[in-house]
A and B are shown apart, each in its own frame.
Chain A
Amino acid sequence: MTDAVALVPLFPLLAVLVNLFIGKRLSKKAVGILACGAVGASLGASVLAVAGLMAMEVGHRSVEVILFPWIVSGGFQVPIGFLLDPLSAVMILVVTGVGFLIHVYSTGYMHEDAGFARYFLFLNLFVFAMLLLVLGNSYLLLFIGWEGVGLCSYLLIGFWFTKDSASDAGKKAFIVNRVGDFGFILGMLLIVYHFGTLHYGQVFARAPELFHAGDLPMVLITALLFVGAMGKSAQLPLHVWLPDAMEGPTPVSALIHAATMVTAGVYMVCRSSALYELAPVILSLVAVIGCLTAFFAGTIALVQNDIKRVLAYSTVSQLGYMFLAAGVGAYVAAIFHLVTHAFFKALLFLGSGSVIHALHEEQDIRKMGGLKKYMPTTHRTFVIGSLAIAGIPPLAGFMSKDEILYEVFNAGKGTGWVLLWIGGIVTALMTAFYMFRLVYLTFYGESRMDEEVEKHVHESPPPITVPLTILAVLSAVGGFLGIPVIKKWNIMHNWLGEAFHAAAEHTTEAATHAASAVSHLTVELGLMTVSVVVAVSGILIARTIILRRPALAEKMRNDYSFLYSLFLNKWWVDELYDLTIVNPLKRFADMCWSVFDVKGIDGTVNGTAKVANVSGGVLRKLQTGFVQNYALGIVIGLALMLVLAFF
């Protein structure tokens, strides 16, 4: 049954090919069925494969399906193959499962769009690339998927390419990602240099044999790979592209820029845990960057007025959490949060899409309000998602976020780690606040909509509400995959445990360390209480400020005007980049063009071409057309050869 894994990426690819060749001739309905059916079939194959994996003995749950040799070049061999183990199993289920729901949602959301077939072509291609990314058995395949999803992301952000802002956002995403990819490629080259292969199994097996923890090559490799992850998962300082990416259609934001693609960096770090464990410095760096990003993006989300931008910064912030978890060696917690986040963030984005759709593409929350009565399903599901992300027990977000905070607290390596934990808690407070600010401004209070718009507000059709409902259920109960306190019942830990052997030692060590100081259970329950209190207070603050005393908001805005504009303008990072990197680069490029290119390179190239052309013309004259000359040529050639041989 595990062989079914080979079929998982195949279905979306087939759909892409069909859509590519005859997509224009198919009706919208047929295209929708084709696209959804492909991802659905892929989901079925994934379930089958994972079921096969579950049937295998614990500790040996790893299957490699080699499809064919791709590059055979002396000692360097890259077979195309898929690696199915607990980690990739979780990932393919998330990608195909959430992906399927979003495909269904898209058939409703994009129904009026002229580029319907093109949209699903890209979306299926994205699913294919993403599956390649998580299923590949080597860094090279991962990288191909990595670039593939990057391309699809670019194409889909700029889907409405006639809009300048959309095509600019697409370019920005692509270019910022290239910076990260640059690091990633260098990291891969270093791996090839040191290990002679890119195959996961071989690299991870050899790494502990060849290197000690903290050796320079390991530090370099992991640091460079992490640069790639920073780009793809929008971590500081490469986070700038993600908020702009919201120019794309909303389901795209849900699938690519919340649930799947942006988590690729987290997946990659967890997949490479064997390498990261050998570079504790970089692991700490991952944790610090994650925490900083979580905090930083949270502050920005507090004051944004575009519904999708709030969610975008929230995504950046939650990704920070995942890296924070990975950085303290809690890979299981990171993946757990990745899964739950995929559920509730997809839900929130799709919900926002439903709202935007109902309000005729209005995205400004200041022009919403009171939508509760018009859109009951959207409202209900959105609130569930918000409760989940805010961390209210027993919803999914509570379980995973709490586990991360617990692991961070327990990592205990001095005051620095306490600061990380505090950062996490503060971010949790902000999360609860900005999410409920969003909820209250959108669904409660007085309507601030234009009258014209208000007349047409309506609940969305079933293709939109059904996926919302399913995702809401998942967001509500998904957390039970990783029940805290009672380790025996923690499915996530039991399932993923074997994927992170090296990491397991690390955490047990930390756990015993912590256990010696305070009783295990007390700490866990205590931390849980803190989280819940924080979450509830966040919600209450939001309620007070937004609903009860709007004047207070105004006052705060004036009293802390510096902070407000700092957050509103996203800490002026974009402006800083423009000033220090983009503009000087443009000037430098201009100079290169006018001096280097036109005079130097073009001159050289034209000169070379001229020389080649002239000598070609001269040589052509030797071609007289007379047989006797040719025969003479042969004799002279032989004579020269003999001269060469004898003298």
Chain B
Amino acid sequence: MLDILVPDFRVIAPELILIVTAFVIIFWELITRTARHGMSIFLGAAGTLVALAVTASLAQKTISTFGDALVLDPFASFFKMIFLVGLLLTIAISTRYMVDEGTKDHSEYYGLLILAVVGMMVLATGRELITIFLGLELMSMSLYVLAGLFKTDVRSNEAALKYFVLGSFATCFMLFGMSYIYGIAGTTHLRQIGRAIAENPALLADKGLILGMFTLLVGFAFKISAVPFHQWTPDVYEGAPTSVTAFMSAGPKAAAFAAMIRVLMEALPLMKTDWELLFTVVAVLTMTVGNLVALAQESVKRMLAYSSIAHVGYILIAFVASVGGHADRALSAILFYLLAYTFMNTGAFAILIFLRREGISGEKLDDFAGLSRRSPIGALAMLIFLFSLAGIPPTAGFAAKLSVFYAAVQGGYYALVVIGVINSAVAAYYYLRVVVVMYMQEPATEGGYAGTSPLLWAGIALALAGTIVLGVLPGGVLEAARLSVISLL
């Protein structure tokens, strides 16, 4: 019988900091009974920054603890940084929106955002199926509540309920798959699963294992909203509060990718041929469906929801390329893409929030009419975000797409690249349509905006800086991403 030793808390140091932050935020409000947002925002941002600093200081380390159930490696650290940057951006752009919407539940809002990030971090560090499941549920539960934060708004309620029901449904599949894998490999630890399969190659042909893997992947595919498990995405993204949508479309997806990459790379690398074909089909479907349906949208928020589906398709190209190409380049392209997407997508949503004022949601295409005249800087920022989403140089989106396609070309997946490029061309249409409306149409109504907060501008500026810096100087970050995925291979 082994002793239960004190674990190495450095592994979960940022998580612990965030948990404490969330508790303090919630209890500060309970005790003082204030209805003001200021303290929550301050505490949230401070906790995030401290967590970011701690993560950065540990970025080079590889430590595992809790009986190897949690591992802090550069891979996990890179993802943690993505989540924390996303959280920071979300907090910055939420402030004015939450005040304007007049919600009283601000401490819950920031607390849940932070707890969702804790869940994501557990997903990225977990090296064991149960732990991964725990992280996934912590993240999902927080998001279900966040989607329904506006209790009096029917759309928000609908979004929360749909997300909850379908999310639970997908979770069932995931648990089902995990149980099969556990049943066949005899362990839930990823490395040990990989070893068990390697030692007994007969397992590779085991239908139970394939069934288990595929049902597990259904769960992940649901979380990253890959076609055909994407249908919840537009409804939920449209109904949820805009700041929550901005948050949901970047971080949680990245977290699901992190866990999926780790599971497939550490536990099931020998089943490559099976999931290569699967993801090839899914990638093509995801890109195409996402882009085509986005074309037909009139609501910018919904358009961005579909575009986020399409972007998952591009990322999946790189995932496929990790099988036949240089795995380190392909996986680092995913990491880079997710980071770039966090900046540009959150930025685009920030502009939606910026546009919102009395009587106008800021979500319709018409709301953008003549923005260049009403707010030249806002229009310019949106232009850069849209260019980046469309993949036009010299923005982060271009560098990300380039690295993804480059990885695919190296692996010889020419057909996928061609489909990807055609899809990018289609996507350019609906992004540029917004630009046309912004710059070439007369404003439908006169009038300024509800007072913008400096914090919102700071968020937009940070997103802009990320979008441009990653676009102009992608080399360093790409190399960091490459170094951080090497430990998985």
Contacts and interface: CB of A to CB of B under 8 A. Distances in A.
Given A69-B476, A645-B214, A630 B170 contact: no
Nearest to A79: B475
Interface stretch (A166-174, A336-344, A608-616): A608-616
A68 interface: yes
A638 B166 contact: no
Contacts of B218: 634, 637-638, 641
A633 B475 contact: no
B166 A627 contact: yes
Nearest to A619: B293
Contacts of B210: 645-646
Interface string B79-104: 00000000000000000000000000
B426 interface: yes
A376 to B, nearest CB: 53
B296 A613 contact: yes
Interface residues of B, number: 43
Interface string B37-52: 0000000000000000
Interface in B272-292: 274, 277-278, 281, 289, 291-292
A73 B406 contact: yes
Interface string A190-203: 00000000000000
Contacts of A69: 475-476
Given A634-B228, A638-B173, A620 B293 contact: yes
23 contacts: A68-B473, A72-B478, A72-B479, A612-B295, A613-B295, A616-B296, A619-B289, A619-B293, A623-B231, A623-B293, A627-B166, A629-B231, A630-B231, A630-B232, A631-B165, A634-B170, A634-B228, A634-B229, A640-B228, A641-B218, A645-B210, A645-B214, A645-B274
A642 B278 contact: no
Given A633-B229, A644-B278, A644-B281, A616 B169 contact: no
Contacts of A74: 329, 406, 410
Contacts of A72: 475, 478-479
A551 interface: no
Contact of A631 (B166, B207, B475): B166
Contacts of B125: none
A616 B429 CA distance: 13
A638 B234 CA distance: 20
Interface string B162-192: 1001100110010000000000000000000
Interface string B202-218: 00000100110011011
A617 interface: yes
B328 to A, nearest CB: 11
B295 to A, nearest CB: 4
Query: Lowest 6 CB-CB distances: which A-B pairs, in order?
Result: A616-B296, A637-B228, A72-B475, A616-B292, A616-B295, A630-B231
Contacts, number: 88
B299 to A, nearest CB: 12
Nearest to B221: A637
A612 B234 CA distance: 19
Given A71-B475, A638-B214, A641-B214, 16 more contacts: A70-B475, A73-B406, A612-B295, A612-B426, A613-B295, A616-B293, A616-B294, A616-B295, A620-B296, A623-B235, A631-B165, A634-B222, A638-B173, A645-B274, A645-B278, A646-B210
A633 B294 contact: no
Interface in A61-98: 68-74
A644 B273 CA distance: 12
A627 B235 CA distance: 10
Nearest to A638: B218
Interface string A227-246: 00000000000000000000
A136 B228 CA distance: 51
Contacts of A619: 289, 292-293, 296
Contacts of A622: 231
Contacts of B426: 612
A640 B228 CA distance: 10
A625 interface: yes
Contacts of B211: 642
Contact of A634 (B173, B281, B475, B478): B173
Interface of B: 161-162, 165-166, 169-170, 173, 207, 210-211, 214-215, 217-218, 221-222, 228-229, 231-232, 234-235, 274, 277-278, 281, 289, 291-296, 329, 406, 410, 426, 429, 473, 475-476, 478-479
Contacts of B329: 74
B239 to A, nearest CB: 10
Given A644-B278, A645-B214, A634 B169 contact: yes
Chief secondary structure at chain A's binding surface: helix
A637 B229 contact: yes
A629 B162 CA distance: 11
A627 B479 CA distance: 43
Interface in A23-80: 68-74
A631 B229 CA distance: 9
Contacts of B161: 627
B296 A630 contact: no
A636 interface: yes
B257 to A, nearest CB: 18
A68 B165 CA distance: 51
A644 B210 CA distance: 11
Nearest to A645: B210
Contacts of A620: 293, 296
A390 B170 CA distance: 88
A638 to B, nearest CB: 5
Residue of B207, B296, B476, B479 with most partner-chain A CB within 10 A: B296
B165 A627 contact: yes
B110 to A, nearest CB: 29
A638 B215 contact: yes
B280 to A, nearest CB: 10
A637 B282 CA distance: 10
A646 B166 CA distance: 26
Contacts of B410: 74
A602 to B, nearest CB: 14
Contacts of A609: 429
Nearest to B169: A631
Contacts of B291: 612
A620 to B, nearest CB: 5
A634 B214 contact: no
B166 A630 contact: yes
Nearest to B329: A74
A447 to B, nearest CB: 55
Nearest to A615: B292
Contacts of A625: 235
Interface string A539-583: 000000000000000000000000000000000000000000000
B171 to A, nearest CB: 11
A157 to B, nearest CB: 27
Interface string A581-611: 0000000000000000000000000000100
A613 B222 CA distance: 26
A627 to B, nearest CB: 5
Contacts of B478: 72
A70 B235 contact: no
A359 to B, nearest CB: 44
Contacts of B215: 638
A640 B226 CA distance: 14
A551 B214 CA distance: 101
A612 B292 contact: yes
A625 B293 CA distance: 15
A74 B325 CA distance: 13
A435 B111 CA distance: 82
Contacts of A640: 228
A262 B203 CA distance: 72
A412 B393 CA distance: 53
A623 B228 contact: no
Contacts of A645: 210, 214, 274, 278
B293 A630 contact: no
B24 to A, nearest CB: 37
A24 to B, nearest CB: 16
